[in-house]
Homo-oligomer: A and B are copies of this chain.
Amino acid sequence: MQINNNYANLKDSYLFKTITQKVNAYKTANPDANIIRLGIGDVTRPLVPAVVTAMHVAVDEMGQKESFSGYDDGGVGYPFLREAIAGYYAGYGVAVDPEEIIVGDGSKSDISNILDLFSPDARVLIPDPVYPVYVDTNIMAGRKITFMNGTAQNGFLPLPDDLENAENLSEPGFTPDIIYICSPNNPTGAVYSREQLKKWVDFAKKSGAVLFFDAAYETFVQTPGLPRSIFEIEGARTCAIEFCSFSKLAGFTGVRCGYTVVPKELSFNGQALHAWWRRRQTTKFNGVSYITQRGAAAVFSPEGFSQIKENIGYYLENAKIISATLKELGIRFTGGENAPYIWLRCPGGMGSWEYFETLLEKANVVGTPGAGFGQNGEGYFRLTAFGERENIEEAMGRITNL
């Protein structure tokens, strides 16, 4: 039997699963502890009324012969949703053809499954610290990964110039095939400027690489002028694929919907990746629930959009409360301004998992150890602003009194 032995090279279990196991063990030992979770990036605000209403209508449509919807033809998303997404892009000045938008069941699936289009020999460049899925999915395929260092010195925003400091650069003259960029960044909350992204676009084009731009947190960008889409950058349409999600935009973590944008002019070795990605999805996927797609489209209705903006504002206010506490305590951090994540230096020189245990045991607060995001994350810690207000305030009080 020829199994994929690359799976045996995966380290430990997936970060958030490990955290869940540790928290569950603590809860079993301390059943009365009132644990506040500021760890996994899961939302807490319920679906907004416009989405709920749209989904009820869709459920009823599915229950009637005349309005029942079966397979989403081609499995790439209904035109009504792809057009609504294109309208969302147009709203901030980015022109995307609805045909270039492929609807999927979430960014995690999309950014994992798109790797199908590339050879196991493709060379991958990944920032460190980073969302662990980028790393694990490439290990599963046996790809060689080169890491680029995100550090306090570069504001956790590595640039092509930093490549000379990359780890595992075993070949002289190394050029990557696939470059991952996440901005606003998970886990650091840092956001690339237009000028910085232009450097990455230029570098990708020069290297003949594809840029995977993970824009899952674009809706949190508040500072005018900071880019939300890679397609705001000149030249990106011939080198970049963008990944977006309704998870953080509209609280769809339990509903599952995301989308990719693969420009029609993006091709390598004469092969249009847009056609390949469509073929991949049409063959291996059967589309997203009609009910989900109706809910997702309602996000872009005037009332839906104002309702989700309110939720985003709520989370950003949470981030301010966390930031204020950290400032008071003299703890250094990035993020929280244009992102739901606050990335802090563990106080007292503590290691990431040491601080995780300290917070869990002494404050009953769960965060995410920075070391789980890569070796540059050691000594750092991620808090998320997705909690409920009273929990955030209570958690900050406990941390202040530690």
Please indicate the chain B residues that have their CB under 8 angstroms from the CB of A113 in the complex: 113, 284
Complex contact B254–A68 (CB within 8 A) = yes
Given contact pairs A3-B118, A254-B290, A65 touches B49 in the complex (Cβ within 8 A): no
Complex contact A140–B283 (CB within 8 A) = yes
Cα of A60 to Cα of B8 in the assembled complex, Å: 42
Whether, in the assembled complex, A13 has its beta carbon less than 8 Å from a beta carbon of chain B, the answer is: yes
Whether, in the assembled complex, A22 has its beta carbon less than 8 Å from a beta carbon of chain B, the answer is: no
Cα of A175 to Cα of B319 in the assembled complex, Å: 59
Cα of A280 to Cα of B10 in the assembled complex, Å: 11
Complex contact B14–A282 (CB within 8 A) = yes
Complex contact B45–A63 (CB within 8 A) = no
Q: Which residue of A1, A8, A208, A279 has the most chain B CB atoms within 10 A of its CB atom?
A: A1
Contact code string A126-157 (vs B, CB < 8 Å = 1, else 0): 00000001001100100000000000000000
Complex contact B63–A47 (CB within 8 A) = yes
Whether, in the assembled complex, A69 has its beta carbon less than 8 Å from a beta carbon of chain B, the answer is: yes
Given contact pairs A3-B118, A60-B52, A286 touches B109 in the complex (Cβ within 8 A): yes
* Interface size range on A against B: 35 or more
Please indicate the chain B residues that have their CB under 8 angstroms from the CB of A301 in the complex: none
Complex contact B52–A1 (CB within 8 A) = no
Complex contact B283–A1 (CB within 8 A) = no
Please indicate the chain B residues that have their CB under 8 angstroms from the CB of A279 in the complex: 7, 10, 13-14
Interface residue stretch chosen among A36-44, A219-227, A326-334 = A36-44
Which chain A residues have a beta carbon within 8 Å of chain B's beta carbons?
Answer: 1-5, 7-8, 10, 13-14, 17, 20, 40, 42-49, 51-52, 55-56, 59-60, 62-65, 67-74, 105-106, 108-109, 112-113, 116-123, 133, 136-137, 140, 177, 208-210, 251, 253-256, 268-269, 271, 273, 276, 279-280, 282-292, 388
Q: A1-B122, A256-B286 are in contact. List 18 more A-B contacts (CB 8 A).
A: A3-B122, A14-B279, A43-B70, A46-B67, A48-B63, A49-B63, A51-B63, A62-B254, A65-B388, A72-B254, A105-B105, A113-B284, A136-B283, A137-B284, A254-B289, A256-B289, A291-B291, A291-B292
